[in-house]
Amino acid sequence: MKVLVIDDDRRLCAMLRSYLEGNGAQVAERHDAGSGLALLADGSFDAVVLDVMLPDFDGFEACRRIRASSDVPVIMLTARGDETDRVVGLELGADDYLPKPFSPRELLARLRAITRRNRPSPQAVELLRFGELEIDLSAREVRVKGEPRLLTSHQLEILAVLARSAGRVLSREQIMDGVRGEALEAFDRSIDVHISRIRAAIEDDPKQPQRIVTVRGVGYVFTRSQP
């Protein structure tokens, strides 16, 4: 696992480098957004750990620029664990977030989870088709009318969980449990943000979704066929 850490806290970067490399990862670090994005463009990384507060421009803008050209998994670091920061980051395409302070062990676990989801298995071939929508899990790609639609690894997994249970209403807990393999809080708004991004990618009219429908007070259902 090759990880790029973009954070201006040099002590934190040194600590993360020591821990992650001690657990088999390769780590590169940069202390401002501009040099971090330049290194990302020149190298092949399995994941990016991106701080919100950076000296040149913030992590939100950096995440937006990353998502304009890459689907590399991104974990954003927030100083306060502020829900607003978290939601903005997810809306811009981050796969996960981690509020400071955090343990390096938790970061490693999250990195392993998102890179595992983003790494296709050579033996696993799974293609889900629903009319003009194709979810190609072996290629880690979603297509509508043959055109690729950009989703993060986390969003692709959420879509897959819903599609595999087409016609069945799933609660937020069931969806997140299917993605991460662990129960999350019932009121975690991150699932709603991800669903919004998925709708923007696959629906003809995201404001009036026909494929992923909200069941008020319960959760979401992926329809087998559109009207």
Model pLDDT, residue 3: 96
Model pLDDT, residue 97: 86
Model pLDDT, residue 183: 40
Q: 70-121: per-residue pLDDT in tens?
A: 889 999 998 765 677 777 777 888 888 888 889 999 999 999 888 876 655 5
Model pLDDT, residue 87: 77
Model pLDDT, residue 120: 53
pLDDT < 50 positions in the chain: 122-123, 182-187, 227
Q: What angle do CA 115, 121, 126 make, to 5 degrees?
A: 110
Model pLDDT, residue 22: 92
| Rounded CA separation 220/215 (Å) | 5
Domains of the chain: 2-118 (3.40.50.2300), 127-222 (1.10.10.10)
pTM: 0.61
What's the token pair of residue 98? 């981690």
What's the token pair of residue 65? 């620029």
- Of 67, 3, 4, nearest to 32 by C-alpha is 4
